[in-house]
Structure 1
Amino acid sequence: MKNNIKVLLVDDEVLFRKGIAFILEREEDIEVVYEASNGKELIDFLETTTEHPDIILTDLKMPLLNGVEATKLIHVNFPNIKIIALSSYDSKSFVANMIDVGAVSYLVKNATPQELLKTIREVHNVGFYYNNYVMEVIKETVLDSANKRSFEIVLTNRENEVLQLICDQKTTAEIAEILFLSPRTVEGHRNNLLLKTTSKNIAGLVVFAIQNKIILIYD
């Protein structure tokens, strides 16, 4: 059981939160470690416990401290915790804002249980998960921005290959198998990519790749 994915739920709608908890607790590889009703309660818990979750599922609009502000704080103070936004709002501005402040995935509340479980496992295994809609939002907010920056970063052929596979949401083990490398070597290339691109995380690498047309997002 020690390999369970530890999940923390944050939502002020008790019935919805308990419904999500019920779905997750039926899975052998997922454990709900705590439930909070707002961002303040979430931050208070993280600051007073030594057993942090792997993933936080958070709503956006909540009393006392909303999901956006809580995500900003967690991204800075608890960078190893992955945040999945789970919201009723699917407007592009909400999605773009949450990705920008540090969320590694975004789900709307009408998603199916299967989509929820897939997202949690992908985030745990890969570090992020963007469905087609979120990738399209990233494309529009990054590529079509009038203020987008121009990069002059030279990547090696191998780094480009690794980056392509990261953007395909492959795990370290899968990349190692595809490129006939050891997992440790793949981790080394990934760390070099983070340093070269000044990305804070894997999600940042994906944004960099789209911005610099290293990967293509089709209309």
Structure 2
Amino acid sequence: MNDSIKIILVDDEILFRKGISFLLEREENIDVVFEASNGEELIAYLNQSATKPDIIIMDLKMPILNGVEATKIIRKNFPEIKIIALTSYDTKSFVANMIQIGAVAYLIKNSTPKDLLHTINQVFLKGFFYNENVLQTIKETIISSKKSKSNLEGSFLSPREIEILQLICMQKTTIEIAEELFLSPRTVEGHRNNLLLKTESRNIAGLVVYAIQNEIAVLTI
């Protein structure tokens, strides 16, 4: 399908990875285009293949090149690709670190298939998805180390940009934002791109973290 969600699975546990692949391939709107057992295999594929995924489901603890380091490389070289961290680790500091380096969603390995599919579809639709536990971690961990708000003085962000940023943090899609503000989707996209440039964020998840750090919005699910 041309409009299918292209997925790459990266996990060194072969049986677990094949189980996820089997689950995803049963979905009509999902296409698993590649599987890798470590970050090095993943980066090699991305550098060589013309087919880029929409989403990478990334294990974090892997040999050779782990998921944390691979995420940093992908965020720098392929910022349009969304990364869902899938791991056994759920400590607050670990979750916060993964969000800050570029993961747009975070799932624990004992999540249900329903949770995984929901997360994939939400990430594809909105650019990120944080469940209640991740939102709480962002509030508790990232706010505590927030940046100075001095860069928000004057006209750094326009009232309209702040309004759109707040709606993004409510996990609304571009079309939903456009309808709520009586704007065209193209106009909303323009404001969103300006927000990315002004805040030096690489993706929508980065905008959300920025908004929380600077107390522009309160995240809701």
> In 1, distance between residues paired with 2:170 and 2:127?
12
**CA–CA distance in structure 1, aligned partners of residues 213 and 150 of structure 2:** 9
Matches within 5 A, 1:136-175: 136-145=136-145, 148-153=147-152, 154=155, 155-175=157-177
Three-state SS of the structure 2 residue aligned to 1:64 is coil
> Partner residue of 1:110?
110
Question: Is contact 1:106–1:130 with CA below 8 Å preserved after alignment?
Answer: yes
The equivalent residue for 1:98 is: 98
Q: TM-score of the superposition, structure 1-length normalised? A: 0.94
Say which structure, 1 or 2, has more relative contact order (CA 8 Å, 6+ apart).
2
Distance, in Å, in 2 between the alignment partners of 1:11 and 1:83 is 13
Report the alpha carbon displacement of residue 156 of structure 1 after superposing the two structures with TM: 2.6
Structure 1: state its 5+ residue gaps. Answer: none
**Partner AA of 1:152 in structure 2:** N
**Following superposition, which runs of at least 4 residues in structure 1 exceed 6 angstroms of deviation?**
none
The correspondence for 1:201, drawn from 188, 200, 203, is 203
Of residues 187, 190, 206, the one that matches 2:189 is 187
Q: CA deviation at 1:217?
A: 4.8
The normalised TM-score by structure 2 is 0.93
Tell me, which stretches of 5 or more residues in structure 2 are unaligned? none
Partner residue of 1:7? Answer: 7
Instruction: Say if 1:128 and 1:203, in contact at 8 Å, map to a contact too.
Output: yes
- Mapped to 2, the partners of 1:138 and 1:151 lie a distance apart of 21
The verdict on how the C-alpha distance between 1:28 and 1:195 changes in structure 2, with shifts beyond 3 A counting, is: same
Could you say what the CA RMSD is over the residues aligned between the two structures, in angstroms?
A: 1.4
Which residue does the alignment assign to 1:75?
A: 75
| Distance (whole Å) between structure 2 residues aligned to residue 99 and residue 142 of structure 1 | 9
Shift of 1:159: 1.6
Following the alignment from structure 2 to structure 1, what is the Cα–Cα distance between the partners of residues 105 and 150? 25
Q: Percent identity?
A: 66
Looking at structure 2, the residues matched to 74 and 152 of structure 1 have their Cα atoms a distance apart, in angstroms, of 28
* 2:203 partner amino acid: N
